[in-house]
A and B are shown apart, each in its own frame.
Chain A
Amino acid sequence: MSEVLGGRGRGLVAGLAHAGALDAEAYEKRGRSRRLERGPEGEFSSTAVEAGWAVRAGDLRHSWFASGAGELPLAASWPQPTANPLWLPEPRPPAPWSAPAAFAAPLAGESEARALLDAVTRELARELPGARLGSALFEEGASEWSLVSSRGVAATGAARAATLRLVAERNAHTVTAETWAFEAREMKPLAVARRLVDRLLALEGGARPHGSALLVAAPLAARLVEALSPWLIGREAPARASALAGRGGRLGAPGLRLVDDGALASGLLSSASDGEGIPCRELTLVEDGRFVRPLLAWWEAESPAAASGCVRRASYRDLPRRAATHLYLAGDPRLGVPELVAEAGDGAYLIDAEGTVAVEPASGRFSVAVTGFALEGGRAKGGLGRRVLAGTLGGWLGGVRAAARDLTFVAGDGMFGSPTLLVDGLDLGVPGS
């Protein structure tokens, strides 16, 4: 990626303004990706080099949007506008931010990707005889973007991520696991294999928990944060969040803190600016269990300073839309998972979701298939088999008794994070009950 992005955008925006469009914005993006997929059909390796652009132009009465693959054209047959408004943000100084060093590293080669999948396959068979990978998908990609507008916004950004999606099988049980990192070499085959093994063993068991304590491991708790996210975004969020709140208007247990941070240094989506050039920053949405503020795009915030920097473009083809960036429950830096397990006593240790979290939008009631281990005297015993965790999102937040420090993120429409939680107020049942 030798050619600097943004130069053509400046020229184009100036040209459009000169031609009569009051406002104009040019967005350019390019990226490359590597993918290695294994399954019953064999092995599939692909590489892609993508480049594209998008332009918006108009005024408060008329506007148009155009996008295309390749290099941003300086002149084109632009669409005739329709009677829809266009509004663009004013420039705001970005907060200090530096891209993680991994952005510049080359993508994994085919042989490295193959070696990673081989290593996971080997470790899985070694850790749990009879277990095998049904399919595996490794993906790694890097991209960079530039944004220029007639209002004076000039922003750039870069992103990079590696993903591993594995389907493991043993004794008629199947688990699907995903793991994410900045780059492939951060992925540890033994750790990945052990996660699969834990879940397969947990599914094979039939233990019944003797106590009521529920320990929700970080990946499962992060999926609940993801399910909660629609209640926290947009102008309507305060009213929606209040519907989840319990007695005294409290949304969560005392001490509970929920944060969104688009500039999170260790986050896969970390960026200085969002998809419209608004600075990304850390925002506390729930403090000490009380709702503080929603995530707001600049166009719905009462003042520029209240904008969250949470607008994302899924690709150059897509219009910017607001979404969570790194939305997470903050943990207790003094509390490790072993201490939390010991504190739990008798009950269940739920290690992961075995499906998506189904939520009723009106009530906030949710249910999700899970698996885990019975806990006795603060020690993990037999596997629980497939169980269903159910409750309300408000009941879950209000029932958080303690949070460990193992903050873990999962990917969805944004990144969602949580540490391991000790919770009250949720039901653990068997499927179909």
Chain B
Amino acid sequence: MAFPGLDPAAVARSLGLVVGDAEEPSEVYFERRIEAELPPAGAPVGFRLRREEGLAVRLARGERTWLASRDALTGRALAEALRQVARVWPAAAPEPELEIGDSSVAVPRDQIAAFPGRLELELRRRLAAFPMRLTVRWHRRDLQVVGPRMVPPPEREAFFSLDAELPWGRCGELAIGLGAAEAAAFATRLVARFRAREAPPPEPGRVPLLLAPAAAAVALHEAVAHALEADLMARSGQPEAALGLDFSAPGLDVLDDPSAAPSGVERTTDDEGSGVVRRWLLRAGRVEQPIADATAARRWPRLLPGSGFRSGRHGRPRPRTHHLELLPGGATEDELMAAADGGLLVAELASGTLDPASGRFVLEVPAARRIESGRPGAPVGRFRILGRVAELLGGVAAIGATAEAAGAGWCAKAGERRAVWARAPALVVRGLEVRA
């Protein structure tokens, strides 16, 4: 148990004393986090273990919301936070009882320690050797939300992350496990970058792009997920006005479904305690349900809550994707290659950014290959893909028939970082600009 001794009913009673309208978003959020890190060989300071815990209380009234957070799981910390958001604490109210014991969590240190050796073996199998500084991390976050009326089940996310510093750039990965399959997949990515390290970038222009599942997932994260987050949509208009809008080519079905995320990071409720939903962002290219948290759903009643996620106890919940899915189309691998002939095969993207005001995005490509006569050809070096959301979504020419878990990574929104997950097939897109 992450929070042994926690009495949700007692916490709910304390919260009930300060909540005026139980329909308004209000909750107590308890959090425990662990990050274990194996640094690169030779790095100053060895194995690193970070443990944190704390709580936050949120209270909303009308258009105003208050949040108070503390780095402690004690009755005093809870009382202070309740008092701070309510500004008034009933004179007769006792200090809430909160006696949460320590939780014993086993850090998978053996798995972490074994991975660098496994990776090196896989690199040798591929006849490759190059300087690299590898950091292996394990992340775990336990949370419990308590509302005035309901107490959802505790949630947990646990996963690994890899960060390789190479002479020609960084390469990162999120993974649920650290077995032989993960070592082989990561080695394949590292070797592809190694082999393209001196390749020249492609000529600037607009050529067809075959985005492999990992690259397609990152592109859609920027172009669909961020573009359909209610708070970002509100900067340029009414989020509800987008419902029913033709947003992309008709064949595109994009969902966000936190419950379908890989085992270990799947969610049944969000960080506000709302049940998650299988949210159709785009159905046949038409906007069906933007990503919303409880605050957005209260302000714009046609939006559904269930996607309010936080970077931690000190951050506010915001509408965010957790597990993005692009449903497969019908194109075989040969058909995808043929549709992108003369263009570029992009296996992965290093990063992406979206300017929500203009709809312009930039995708950083660490390496790719030319597509010549329907087959992968010569490697090309680092370049960028630029365009507007409408160009990307309107330029989809083919969707692969097989979807796979791919494109997981770190998403930073308003300076707050979260791990996000995805499942996608390959995509062929035309009309985007390629620039060194």
Contacts and interface: CB of A to CB of B under 8 A. Distances in A.
A55 B231 CA distance: 39
B42 A84 contact: yes
A307 to B, nearest CB: 15
B70 A52 contact: no
Nearest to A137: B414
Contacts of B72: 51, 69-70
27 contacts: A41-B234, A41-B295, A41-B296, A43-B63, A44-B64, A44-B316, A45-B64, A45-B66, A46-B66, A46-B69, A46-B316, A48-B70, A49-B80, A50-B71, A56-B45, A58-B45, A63-B45, A64-B47, A65-B45, A66-B50, A67-B50, A68-B50, A69-B71, A82-B113, A83-B41, A134-B235, A319-B44
Given A40-B235, A82-B47, A52 B65 contact: no
Nearest to A167: B235
A83 B357 CA distance: 49
Interface in B42-100: 42-54, 62-72, 80, 84
A241 to B, nearest CB: 21
Given A41-B299, A42-B299, A50-B314, A135 B71 contact: no
Helix, strand, loop or mixed for chain A's interface?
Answer: strand
B51 A68 contact: yes
Contacts of A93: none
B363 interface: no
A397 B314 CA distance: 41
A359 interface: no
Given A44-B316, A86-B44, A65 B49 contact: yes
B65 A49 contact: no
Helix, strand, loop or mixed for chain B's interface?
Answer: mixed
A68 B52 contact: yes
Interface in A59-103: 62-70, 79-87
A174 to B, nearest CB: 6
A86 B296 contact: no
Given A41-B295, A47-B84, A49-B69, A64 B41 contact: no
A49 to B, nearest CB: 5
A66 B70 CA distance: 20
Nearest to A135: B235
A80 B38 CA distance: 11
A293 interface: no
Contact of B71 (A46, A49, A81): A49
A317 interface: yes
B39 interface: yes
Contacts of A81: 46-47
B176 to A, nearest CB: 23
Contacts of B53: 69-70
B27 to A, nearest CB: 14
Interface residues of B, number: 41
A39 interface: yes
B52 A64 contact: no
* Most A Cβ at <10 Å: residue of B38, B41, B48, B235: B48
Given A46-B68, A47-B68, A69-B51, 13 more contacts: A40-B231, A41-B231, A42-B65, A45-B64, A47-B69, A52-B52, A66-B48, A67-B50, A69-B54, A84-B39, A85-B42, A319-B44, A319-B45
A134 B45 CA distance: 45
Contacts of A45: 64-67
Nearest to B68: A47
Contacts of A82: 38-39, 46-47, 113
Contacts of A84: 39, 41-47
Contacts of B38: 82
Interface string B349-377: 00000000100000000000000000000
* Most B Cβ at <10 Å: residue of A37, A39, A65: A65
A51 B71 contact: yes
Contacts of A80: 47, 109
Given A43-B64, A86-B44, A64 B49 contact: yes
Nearest to B74: A70
A82 B37 CA distance: 11
A100 to B, nearest CB: 26
4 tightest A-B CB contacts, nearest first:
A40-B234, A42-B63, A82-B46, A84-B46
Nearest to B43: A84
Nearest to A55: B49
Given A82-B46, A85-B44, A48 B52 contact: no
Nearest to A37: B316
Nearest to A81: B46
A417 B166 CA distance: 33
Nearest to B318: A41
Interface of A: 37, 39-52, 56, 58, 62-70, 79-87, 134-135, 174, 299, 317, 319
A257 B404 CA distance: 56
B47 A39 contact: no
B15 to A, nearest CB: 17
Nearest to A172: B357
A6 B74 CA distance: 23
A40 B357 CA distance: 14
* Most B Cβ at <10 Å: residue of A49, A56, A66, A135: A49
A86 B52 contact: no
Contacts of B46: 58, 62-65, 79, 81-84, 86
A47 B83 CA distance: 11
A49 B44 contact: no
A48 B50 CA distance: 20
Nearest to B238: A40
A76 to B, nearest CB: 9
* Most A Cβ at <10 Å: residue of B46, B53, B63, B70: B46
A200 to B, nearest CB: 15
Given A40-B231, A45-B67, A79 B45 contact: no
Contacts of A43: 63-65
Contacts of B51: 66-69
A41 B229 CA distance: 12
A52 B48 contact: no
Contacts of A68: 50-52
Nearest to B295: A41
B316 to A, nearest CB: 6
Contacts of B84: 47
Contacts of B42: 84-85
Given A82-B38, A135-B235, A48 B45 contact: no
Nearest to B239: A40
Contacts of B49: 64-67, 79
B39 to A, nearest CB: 6
Contacts of A50: 69, 71, 314
Given A45-B65, A69-B52, A79-B49, A87 B44 contact: yes
Contacts of A40: 231, 234-235
Contacts of B295: 41-42
Contacts of A83: 41, 46
A234 to B, nearest CB: 14
Contacts of B44: 63, 84-87, 299, 319
B426 to A, nearest CB: 30
A39 B43 contact: no
Contacts of B69: 46-50
A51 B54 CA distance: 10
A317 B50 contact: yes
Contacts of B299: 41-42
A358 to B, nearest CB: 10
